[in-house]
Amino acid sequence: MRASRRKWNVNLQKATIMVDGKPQQVRISARALRTLKKQNAA
């Protein structure tokens, strides 16, 4: 294998989520954000 080993980085996004009833801005992975959107939609 000639190519150097590529390391995948986490796709972090800034999002405001409710923590203990208060909005809090966090850096969250895109996958976790999708999961949260699914849970809130239901």
Q: Quick one: pLDDT at residue 33?
A: 94
pLDDT digits (tens, 9 = 90+) for 1-30: 788 999 999 999 999 998 899 999 999 999
Q: Quick one: pLDDT at residue 42?
A: 75
Residue 2 located in a structural domain? no
State how many domains the chain has: 1
Residue 24 located in a structural domain? yes
Residue 30 located in a structural domain? yes
Q: Quick one: pLDDT at residue 31?
A: 95
SS3 content of the chain, % helix, strand, coil (to 5): 30, 40, 35
Residue 6 located in a structural domain? no
Q: Calculate Rg over the CA atoms of the chain.
A: 15
Residue 21 located in a structural domain? yes
pLDDT-based confidence at residue 40 (cuts at 50, 70, 90)? confident
Residue 3 located in a structural domain? no
Q: Quick one: pLDDT at residue 1?
A: 74
Indicate the burial class of 21 (C-beta count within 10 angstroms; 0-12, 13-18, 19 or more). exposed
Q: What is the pTM of this model?
A: 0.65
Residue 34 located in a structural domain? yes
